[in-house]
Amino acid sequence: MARQDIEARVRRVAEQALAEQHYIRPVDVLLGLGWLAPTHVDQWRQGRVAYLEGVTQGNLSKISTAMAEFRRWARARGLQPSETAYVARTRDRRRLRFSVNGDPAIELAYRTHWVSPALPEAKQRRLREQQSRPPDLVVIAAINDWVCSECSGTGDLLIMEDPGPVCMGCADLDHLMFLPAGDAALTRRATKASTLFAVVVRFSRARKRYERQGVLVEEHALEHAEVECLNDEEARRRRRERDEARRRGHDTEFQSAFASAIATLFPGCPPERAQTIANHASVRGSGRVGRSAAGRALDPDAIAAAVVASVRHTDTTYDELLIGGTPRAEARALVRPEIERILDRWQQQDPPHHP
């Protein structure tokens, strides 16, 4: 590939990555060029690859050309350099190596991220903190048979070290408890309270990637997190009860107002019937007219619609006609005279008084 072609591809990849995340790393360029596979980056971060250039496609001359053009592009775009520490996801948290010879200048160039000045200072600060934070310790849930490189034992979980896979006992991680993924609040609190924790992943053959299964945390941290979550659940239960009582109070007030509005429009409607119509029309979550914007505003048309619907279903043969197979439009036309007679009566006379 010609030098000009490499430089053009680097610029395209860099522009796309910058547009997506407002910062860009040398690793992003290698990934975007297709010279580096995500699985190889994972293995390198886990300490299973001696140096990143060893799993990068292309000779060192091509890689050098791409990285030099990337730095020229970044400076021309006015991006701000930010050095980031890269440490392995291993017990010793050793510094990761990028280049074949480990030259300090080359290592620094790889560790330097370039950040858009348009990114707000607060976000830049959070980004620096996030990128400088040591990566989580990673434990692998085995899918194949394996043997510990230290004791020749085996197990369901392993951690990768320089000599090879290491069991939880040899890695001094066998005192940790496994917490499956699924409860974000419990996981967050348990890992925060645990002095030592590790993320458990399993390789998916279908997706060709490692997927999170849960975490390993100290037992006391898990117990502490469970107590906090239970307390939260009790607090949420009490809050739900208060909210429900408040909603019931609001519903009662609204239903009374709705019934009063019915009495105003239809003074001949019996009070108990007006209250029944109001209660039915304003059921929360029912989608009925009382829950519409017009209904909540006690709009006269909405009030009348609720009364008409009640009369249609309660005082006429409308439902029987539908059950008997009469089309809806025809059924409504058949019962309309009866509805109008009832509404006329309710509009023109006071409700009857019972001794």
Closest CA to 186 of 141, 232, 140: 232
- Taking CA atoms, 112 is separated from 15, 61, 266, in Å, by 17, 20, 77
% of the chain surpassing 70 pLDDT: 97
CA distance 153 to 146: 8
pLDDT tens per residue, range 18-27: 999 999 999 9
Instruction: Output the six-digit token pair for 27.
Output: 């690793």
Which residues, other chains included, contact 57 with Cβ-Cβ below 8 Å and sequence gap of 6+?
Answer: 34, 35, 36
pLDDT tens per residue, range 186-222: 999 999 999 888 999 999 989 888 899 999 999 999 9
- Taking CA atoms, 69 is separated from 79, 83, 84, in Å, by 14, 18, 20
Q: Give 122: exposed, middle or buried? Use CB within 10 Å, 0-12, 13-18, 19+.
A: exposed
Mean pLDDT of the chain: 88
User: Sorting pLDDT into bands at 50, 70 and 90, what band is 349?
Assistant: low
pLDDT tens per residue, range 267-318: 999 999 999 999 888 877 667 787 788 888 899 999 999 999 999 999 999 9
All structural domains of the chain with their residue ranges: 1-135, 136-217, 247-348
CA distance 31 to 274: 70
- Taking CA atoms, 337 is separated from 189, 310, 312, 350, in Å, by 67, 15, 11, 21
Sheet with strand 198-204: strands edge to edge: 164-166, 157-161, 137-141, 198-204, 209-217, 177-180
pTM to 2 decimal places: 0.51
Output the pLDDT for position 47: 79
